[in-house]
Amino acid sequence: MGSEGRSWNGAGVCAAAGGFDGVSSGGEEKPTTAAVAAGAPADVPTSAASVDISLPLPEMTPHIMQVTLLLPLNSDFLVLARGVLKVSVKEDTGNEFSVTVRLYGPNTDLVIDRKRELQAIPYLSAAGFGARLLGIFENGIVQSFINARTLSPADMREPRIAAEIAKELHRFHLVDIPGSKEPQLWSDIFKFLKKASALKFEDSEKRMGYETISFREIRDEVKELKDLSDLLHTPVVYAHNDLLSGNLMLNDLEGKLYFIDFEYGSYSYRGYDIANHFNEYAGFDCDYNMYPDKDAQYHFFRNYLQPDGPSEVQAQDLEALYVETNTFRLASHIYWALWALIQAKVSPIDFDYLGYFFLRYGEYKKQRESCFSLAQSFLSELRNG
């Protein structure tokens, strides 16, 4: 359920962008009227006084470089999503080149480790995941444009696509990112908990709702869940941690699936990444009755565990991953519940984040008994041989 605000500066998109070494800008460059996507928010500017993508873009090592860039006259941009722009430029030859510009929202550093994200992107890109990183600027990044459609929650539940997601996730989890391999899930949750428990709301309605929350109860729940999950000895992998439908793209003609947006990525638990994805089957209506049943989960697990031979997966491996995933199902609800509380205070987006906290924490409490019982029964059977 990752979400960002938009960061605008003045009348246009302000980019202090990664340098494009060795590029000379041909022709006259002036501010130009931009084409804004239909349905774009009213506060999107219709002119861009300070974005320029000079062509051709060479291979480069991304680095931060404070520069002012201008859109040439033969260019435009489309708002693809909140804080995401498609910038297109026509070359003299008539060919069109497009890049994606992602703008970080205000205060997102409270819930996203940008240093961790930017460290991982080049390695993920080299392994064939997401768009190629072209440049970094003060409040965002420039990447190659992916020609594909965003999946819907219904797409994710379709067995053929679910199998492809599972296979791609298997490959994603094999990527090696330099640095500490310590799982970050519980560290991030406790950081969120500390921030969320110290908020002050000026709005009286939000304040009343916030004051009903027992952070001591949440802290106790987190500790108990962590202790239980530790007993499962779950494999640690580099995890995406936000595989909702909006972060999955598909080129139908080529049959190519893309994972995008790695801002929540970190070393974490295999089962957490899968469980978090399954929770996103709920879609935009947050209908958690759409969480996959055991048969659908096993279909996913077979393709994840052995992409080249799903039918060869052993029953005990399926059961172990089933228990692992459905234990971390609870951690996903707590993570995004606490995330939502922080967003309720700092995000400029018109969304009921406080209500979303109660929704996710309520779902945690609803599923707690069955998920704890599943893990405890599994561990008891292991102890008893």
Mean pLDDT score across all residues of the chain: 81
pTM for the predicted model, two decimal places: 0.79
Q: Residue 224 pLDDT > 60, yes or no?
A: yes
pLDDT exceeds 90 at position 247:
yes
Burial class (CB in 10 A: 0-12, 13-18, 19+), 41: exposed
What span, in angstroms and rounded, lies between the C-alpha atoms of 237 and 26? 45
Asked if residues 327 and 355 have their Cβ atoms less than 8 Å apart, the reply is: no
Single-letter residue type at 348: P
Determine which helix (DSSP H) or strand (DSSP E) holds 375, and give its type and residue range.
helix 353-383
pLDDT per residue as tens digits for the range 296-339: 999 999 999 999 999 999 999 999 999 999 999 999 999 999 99
Percent of the chain with pLDDT over 70: 77
Tell me which of 61 and 12 has the higher pLDDT: 61
The answer to whether the peptide bond before residue 56 is cis (omega within 30 degrees of 0) is: yes
Range list of β-strands (E), 74-131: 75-81, 84-90, 96-103
Residue found under tokens 């899930």 = 185
Domain positions in the chain: 57-144, 149-383
Report the alpha-carbon angle 328-329-333, nearest 5. Answer: 110
pLDDT per residue over 34-44, tens digit each?
A: 222 333 333 33
Region at 130 (left for phi over 0; alpha for psi -120 to 50; beta for the rest):
left
Of 1-10, 119-128, 186-195, 343-352, the range with the lowest mean pLDDT is: 1-10
pLDDT in tens, 146-190: 889 999 999 999 999 999 999 999 999 999 999 999 999 999 999
pLDDT for 255 beyond 80: yes
pLDDT at 136: 81
Q: How far is CA 301 from the centre of its chain?
A: 21
Nearest to 60 by CA among 178, 144, 172: 144
Least confident residue range of 93-107, 242-256, 315-329, 334-348: 93-107
Of 90-94, 116-120, 284-288, which has the strongest mean pLDDT?
A: 284-288
Which is more confidently placed, 122 or 83? 122
E strand map for the chain: 32-33, 47-48, 75-81, 84-90, 96-103, 133-137, 140-144, 149-150, 236-239, 248-251, 256-259, 266-269
209: DSSP letter: H
What share of the chain in percent tops pLDDT 90?
62
Q: Report d(CA 317, CA 217) in Å as an integer.
A: 34
Given this chain, do its domains 57-144 and 149-383 carry the same CATH topology?
Answer: no
Let me know if domain 149-383 sits in CATH 3.40.50.20.
Answer: no
Dihedral sign for Cα atoms in the order 283, 121, 328, 350: negative
Of residues 195 and 92, more confidence is placed in 195
Looking at the domain that runs over 57-144, which CATH code has it been given? 3.30.200.20
Confidence of residue 73 (pLDDT cuts 50, 70, 90): very low
State pLDDT tens for residues 186-223: 999 999 999 999 999 999 999 999 999 999 999 999 99
